[in-house]
């Protein structure tokens, strides 16, 4: 394992600790998808994104990231704090009264790192396309990233955006779908099946890559490859297989941990599995 | 009664198109998006002269609102254009989350509002849009009265930082305001000073209010007429100053009686100076197919309806 990978995995472990502690603290939130996407957030913010030190809402001359499936806010908040956007002590306020860390991300509380509210599903890809178009108008060669959940693809707006981006050659955009196969009421296959997503996105005109979202090596390679493919007339889509609850054995692979907080014993068990690496808040 | 005349009728949507083109020339941050209704929204001139700043999104209004929100993140000032029905009700959640709650500087420009869309019928005649938009925290709601005022408003909103709902219509209506007017958001326009009743009107109902004022003058009723082009934030001071003099008010709008201008005025009055009020508005119903004139008459939105409402409210003083 390279030193770089070891460092990223160490950060990911701490982010997972943050997630379970945040959700436990307020007895509310979405740990399953957050844990599944932790490696992606860490790879993105600590390796891939070209970003400026000072947060600027307009994000000119830096890469931008939009979280469309805003319910996995714990992983977003922890990553932003660990990446230096705000003090990690603020993670303790998650979902509590007067907090900037609302249940779902918002610009309303002026939390550095967040550029649009999300939570009502299906809107993030459209917003990311708008930001991508603004970058082109501004002759800004940095990239725009967006993450959606797989269940979110059941929203019709996603497919409006899916049609728009290739038609208009939005090729400074890298979209990612978190394929954990779970949603609140069960598996995506049971609730409303998504079919062959690679074929669907390719049919819409996207350049599609696939990766394992819980393998840091693969993730870094895929993100690098995605970046290489930008600027060639097509938007890029990364289909990223993840495991809901990854890192905590009793949460893994179960839709039941989509939006349930661990009790005291479950928290202790989860933290036992996640070695502290950077210091808890 | 001050005399108002007109030499030309023109649609307010053309005022929007002209204003958009003009502000496009002055401000290169202005971009425009349209959902397959370029001709209806009169966006042709902007598209022709600024093709790189014009985005055709197709019949996909939700995506249009999201793209508009995203464009602001690069410092742009997006104007979205489609019918009022598809600019509000169809995309309420997108506007609420990605634009209003996110505080994005998007100008939602909505044509074909109200009954006077005409023959297309109720599926396209939204009468709830003012209410929907004014309930969103931070949203400014503007409903100008004629071509000139729509053009001036379209230009002015580029300099207002925050989301705006700009509402206009399809049919040609008299042009009676100054072509070089200054449009001030939130500042009512005193159309006629009077002493017996306050008529507060918005959109093309302002012209009907002027016609009503002339008819009332003939029977010795001196009406004060106020054009509320900005429904949110509403000019409380102008309304209260007027009713303290007249002691009663009639509100007039091409909108559902519930949730529109009338209710905004009622809120101002009930808090500060409760006086009798009558509504000239659509009485909580959907519209139907017909010519604009037929619909205005059937749903009670004409000058004669304003006259009747004035006679009724004066008796309640």
CA distance A268 to chain B (A): 36
Q: Which among B260, B259, B203, B257 is positioned nearest to B229, based on CA atoms?
A: B203
Nearest to A117 among B53, B62, B98 (CB): B98
Residues 76-135 of B with CB under 8 A from A: 76, 78, 93-94, 96-98, 101-104
| ipTM over the 0.95 cut-off | yes
pLDDT at residue A1, rounded to an integer:
63
pLDDT at residue A11, rounded to an integer:
98
Nearest to B66 among A64, A126, A137 (CB): A126
Rounded average pLDDT over B271-299 = 98
Chain B residues within an 8 Å CB radius of A108: 101-103
pTM: 0.97
The parts of chain A modelled with pLDDT lower than 50 are none
Q: Say what percent of chain B tops pLDDT 90.
A: 100
Nearest to A120 among B75, B76, B97 (CB): B97
Arithmetic mean of pLDDT over chain B = 98
Q: Say what percent of chain B tops pLDDT 70.
A: 100
pLDDT at residue A61, rounded to an integer:
96
CA distance A56 to chain B (A): 10
Q: Each residue of B157-176: pLDDT tens digit?
A: 999 999 999 999 999 999 99
CA distance B63 to chain A (A): 5
Contact between A130 and B93 using a beta-carbon 8 Å cutoff: no
Closest residue, chain B, to A108 (C-alpha): B102
Chain A residues within an 8 Å CB radius of B138: none
Q: How far apart are CA A115 and CA B70, in angstroms?
A: 9
Element (H, E) at B211: helix B205-218
Contact between A131 and B101 using a beta-carbon 8 Å cutoff: no
Q: Each residue of B27-60: pLDDT tens digit?
A: 999 999 999 999 999 999 999 999 999 999 999 9
Chain B residues within an 8 Å CB radius of A137: 31, 52-53, 74, 76
pLDDT at residue A255, rounded to an integer:
84
Nearest to B102 among A58, A64, A117 (CB): A117
Both tokens assigned to A237 = 């889509």
Contact between B97 and A108 using a beta-carbon 8 Å cutoff: no
Please indicate whether residue B61 is annotated as part of the active site. yes
Give the 3-state secondary structure of chain A: CCHHHHHHHHHHHHHHHHHHHHHHHHCCCCHHHHHHCHHHHHHHHHHHCCCCCCCCCCCCCCCEEEECCHHHHHHHHHHHHHCCCCCHHHHHHCCCCCCCCCCCCCCCCCCCCCCCCCCCCCCHHHHHHHHHHHHHHCCCCCCEEEEEECHHHHCHHHHHHHHHHHHCCCCCEEEEEEECCEECCEEHHHHHCCCCHHHHHHHHCCEEEEEECCCHHHHHHHHHHHHHHCCCCCCEEEEEECCCCCCCHHHCCCHHHCCCCCCHHHHHHHHHHCCCCCCCC
Q: Which of B61, B128, B208, B224 is catalytic?
A: B61
């Amino acid at each position: 394992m390279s030193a770089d990978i070891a460092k990223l995995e160490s950060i990911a472990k701490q982010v997972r600790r943050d997630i379970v502690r945040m959700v436990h603290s307020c007895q509310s939130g979405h740990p399953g998808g957050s844990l599944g996407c932790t490696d992606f957030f860490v790879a993105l913010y600590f390796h891939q994104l070209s970003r400026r030190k000072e947060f600027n809402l307009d994000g000119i001359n830096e890469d931008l990231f939009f979280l469309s499936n805003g319910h996995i806010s714990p992983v977003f908040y922890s990553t932003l704090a660990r990446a230096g956007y705000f003090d990690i002590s603020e993670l303790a306020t998650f979902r509590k009264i007067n907090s900037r860390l609302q249940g779902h991300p918002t610009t309303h509380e002026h939390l550095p790192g967040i550029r649009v509210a999300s939570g009502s599903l299906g809107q993030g890809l459209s917003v990311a396309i708008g930001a991508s178009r603004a970058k082109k108008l501004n002759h800004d060669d940095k990239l725009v990233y967006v993450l959606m959940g797989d269940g979110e693809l059941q929203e019709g707006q996603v497919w409006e955006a899916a049609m728009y981006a290739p038609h208009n050659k939005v090729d400074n955009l890298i979209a990612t779908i978190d394929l954990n196969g779970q949603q609140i009421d069960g598996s995506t296959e049971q609730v409303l099946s998504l079919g062959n997503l690679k074929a669907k996105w390719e049919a819409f005109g996207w350049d599609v890559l696939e990766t394992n979202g819980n393998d840091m090596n693969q993730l870094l390679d895929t993100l690098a490859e995605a970046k290489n493919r930008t600027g060639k007339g097509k938007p890029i889509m990364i289909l990223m297989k993840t495991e809901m609850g990854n890192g905590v054995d009793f949460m893994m692979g179960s839709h039941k941990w989509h939006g349930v907080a661990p009790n005291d014993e479950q928290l202790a068990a989860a933290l036992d599995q996640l070695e502290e690496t950077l210091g808890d808040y | 009664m001050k005399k108002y005349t007109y030499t030309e009728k023109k649609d307010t949507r053309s005022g929007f198109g002209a204003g958009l083109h003009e502000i496009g020339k002055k401000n290169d941050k202005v971009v425009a998006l349209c959902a397959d209704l370029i001709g209806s929204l009169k966006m042709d001139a902007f598209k022709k002269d600024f093709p790189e700043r014009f985005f055709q999104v197709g019949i996909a209004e939700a995506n249009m609102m999201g793209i508009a929100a995203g464009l602001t993140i690069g410092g742009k000032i997006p104007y979205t254009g489609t019918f009022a029905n598809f600019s509000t009700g169809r995309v309420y959640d997108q506007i609420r989350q990605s634009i209003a709650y996110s505080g994005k500087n998007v100008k939602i420009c909505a044509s074909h509002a109200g009954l006077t869309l005409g023959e297309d019928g109720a599926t396209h005649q939204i009468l709830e849009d003012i209410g929907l938009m004014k309930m969103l925290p931070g949203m400014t709601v503007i409903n100008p009265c004629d071509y000139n005022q729509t053009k001036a408003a379209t230009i002015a909103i580029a300099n207002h930082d925050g989301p705006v709902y700009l509402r206009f219509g399809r049919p040609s209506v008299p042009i009676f305001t100054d072509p070089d007017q200054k449009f001030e958001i939130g500042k009512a326009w005193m159309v006629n000073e009077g002493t017996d009743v306050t008529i507060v009107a918005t959109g093309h109902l302002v012209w009907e209010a002027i016609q009503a004022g002339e008819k009332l003058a003939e029977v010795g009723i001196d009406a004060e007429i106020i054009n509320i082009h900005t429904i949110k934030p509403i000019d409380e001071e102008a309304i209260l100053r007027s009713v303290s003099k007249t002691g009663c008010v009639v509100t007039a709008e091409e909108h559902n009686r519930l949730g529109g201008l009338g209710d905004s005025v009622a809120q101002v009055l009930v808090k500060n100076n409760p006086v009798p009020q009558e509504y000239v508005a659509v009485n909580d119903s959907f519209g139907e197919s017909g010519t604009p004139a037929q619909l205005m008459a059937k749903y009670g939105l004409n000058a004669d309806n304003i006259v009747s409402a004035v006679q009724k409210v004066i008796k309640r003083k």
